[in-house]
Amino acid sequence: MKLRKIALIVFALIIGVAGCSPDDDSTVVVSYRDRTEVYAEDILEIETFLETHYLNLEDNAFDFGDLYNPSNDDFEIVFSAIEAGSTETALIDMPQLKFKMVEDPLEDGLFYKLYYLEMRQGLGDDVHFIDKALVNYEGITTEDFVFDKAVNPTSFELTAVLSGGVVTGFMESLIEFKTATSFTENNDGTVAYHEHGIGAAFLPSGIGYFGQTLTNLSSYTPLIFKFNVFDRVLLDHDNDGIPSYLEDLDSDSNVYNEDTDEDAAPNFFDADDDGDGTGTIDEIELISYELDDDGLPFLTKADAQNHFDTSDQIDANEVLIDIQFDFSDDTFTLNTFVATDSNGNGIPDYLDDTYPEE
C-alpha cells in the first residue's frame, strides 16, 4: 500500500476517534459499500447526465473561435436538460469534454473515469497537485442541487491530508487547467481575472465524498463542479527552498513515497532530506534570472520556458522552480535552484548523505 494511502487511512482513523466521547460506552462501526459496485452506479449516472444535458449558451455566450477573447473572462457554465426534439449537442458529444483515469485514493488497482469539460485551459501557471489554488466554484448534483458554492475567489491546498484540502477528483480536475495571466481591480474593490482556466468536472463518489454524509448531501453521490482557476501558490511545506511539487522525485504525483533518509518524514516535510545534519536549503543554490536585457522576444511564458531549456547559460544541475511575469515592465523572471553535486557522484548534495564527508 502506498504511503499516501496509509496517511489517508490514519487521518480518517484520527477523525473517527476524535468524534467519540471518552465516556461513551457505545461503539459505532461504519460499514461502507463496495467501492467497485458504487463506481458502476456512479459512472452510469454521470454518463446519463452527459447524454441528456447540454451547455446552455442562451443567456451567456461563449466565443469558441477566440477562447481568450476578454468577453469570455466572465463566462459562467450552465447545464440544461435536452428536451424532446431538440437539436442541442449533448455534453457527451462536445469536443471540449475530455476524461482521465484516476486511481482510488484508498484502494490500489481501482481506477475511475473522470470526465472534465475544458472550456479553455488558461494561459497562466501550471497548477500542481500539491499547490494552493485560488478558484471560485459551484458544486451540484446530477439533479442540479447546489451543495456548495464560492462566488468570491477562495484558496485551499489541493492535497487532502495536509489541511482539509479538497477531494481527490476536484484536485485531479484543477491540475488540468492553468491560472490567469493577469488581473485588473474593479471600482468596487473586486478583482477581474483574465485568460484563466474555465471548466467543469464530473466526479464518481469514490473520488468525491464516497460514504460520507454531509449536511446537505447524501452519501455515495456523484458530484459536478464548475470552476474558474485564477491563481496558485507554490507551497514549500518544510521551508527548505524547494517547492513541494519538486520533491516528487519520481513524478508519480505522490510526495509521501519520497523519503531519502528513511526517517519516516517524507522529503517535502523534511528540512534535511538526506539526514546528513546539513539542511537542504544549505545544500542548494537559489538563483533568479530577469529576462529583459538580451533582446529576445519573450511574448509568453512558453518562450521563457524554451529559453531556460535551451540556454547555454543554464547550469546542467539547475532546476526550474517557476516563471514570474512583471506586468509593470513586461519582464520575465526565472526562479531556479542548482542541485549541486560537489563530489561528482551523480547524486545532488541535498540527497547525498555521503557529502560533506566528516
80-88, long-range: CB within 8 Å, 24+ apart, which pairs?
80/53, 80/54, 80/56, 81/52, 81/53, 82/52, 82/53, 82/54, 86/54, 88/54
Cβ pair 199, 118 in contact under 8 A: yes
Confirm whether 21 is domain-assigned. no
Write down the pLDDT at residue 306: 83
- Supply the DSSP symbol for 43: H
- For residues 322 and 304, what is the distance between their CA atoms, to the nearest angstrom? 10
Write down the pLDDT at residue 222: 98
Confirm whether 291 is domain-assigned. yes
Instruction: Quote the number of domains for the chain.
Output: 2
In a shared domain, residues 163 and 303: no
Confirm whether 25 is domain-assigned. no
Confirm whether 243 is domain-assigned. no
In a shared domain, residues 288 and 201: no
In a shared domain, residues 301 and 224: no
- For residues 166 and 180, what is the distance between their CA atoms, to the nearest angstrom? 21
Confirm whether 239 is domain-assigned. no
Domain with residue 132: its CATH number is 3.10.50.40
Cβ pair 242, 337 in contact under 8 A: yes
Using the structure block, give the residue that is written with the C-alpha cell 457554465.
77
For the chain (length 358 residues), average pLDDT per consecutive 10? 41 40 51 94 98 95 96 96 94 98 91 98 94 96 95 87 76 96 87 96 96 91 98 95 95 90 95 95 92 65 81 84 79 89 92 78
Measured torsion, CA atoms of residues 142, 145, 151, 156, in degrees rounded to the nearest 10: -60
Q: Which domain holds residue 300?
A: 261-351
Last residue in a domain, options 191, 214, 233: 233
In a shared domain, residues 38 and 186: yes
In a shared domain, residues 140 and 278: no
In a shared domain, residues 179 and 318: no
Confirm whether 11 is domain-assigned. no
Task: For the chain, count helices (H), then strands (E).
Answer: 5, 13
Confirm whether 17 is domain-assigned. no
In a shared domain, residues 175 and 269: no
Write down the pLDDT at residue 9: 44
Write down the pLDDT at residue 252: 87
Confirm whether 222 is domain-assigned. yes
In a shared domain, residues 101 and 208: yes
Write down the pLDDT at residue 161: 53
Burial class (CB in 10 A: 0-12, 13-18, 19+), 164: exposed
Prediction pTM value: 0.86
In a shared domain, residues 70 and 185: yes
- Supply the DSSP symbol for 201: E
To which H or E segment does residue 100 belong? strand 97-103
In a shared domain, residues 79 and 193: yes
- Supply the DSSP symbol for 126: B
**Burial per residue of 311-342, b for 16 or more beta-carbon CB atoms within 10 angstroms, e otherwise:** eeebeeebeebbbebeeeeeebebebbbbbbe
- For residues 303 and 284, what is the distance between their CA atoms, to the nearest angstrom? 26
In a shared domain, residues 177 and 307: no
Dig out the grid coordinates for 31 from the structure. Answer: 460499514
Sorted by sequence, the CB contacts under 8 Å of residue 158 that are 6+ apart come out as 127, 128, 129, 130, 131, 132, 133, 165, 166, 171, 174, 175
Write down the pLDDT at residue 79: 97
- For residues 7 and 136, what is the distance between their CA atoms, to the nearest angstrom? 28
In a shared domain, residues 53 and 176: yes
Last residue in a domain, options 197, 213, 233: 233
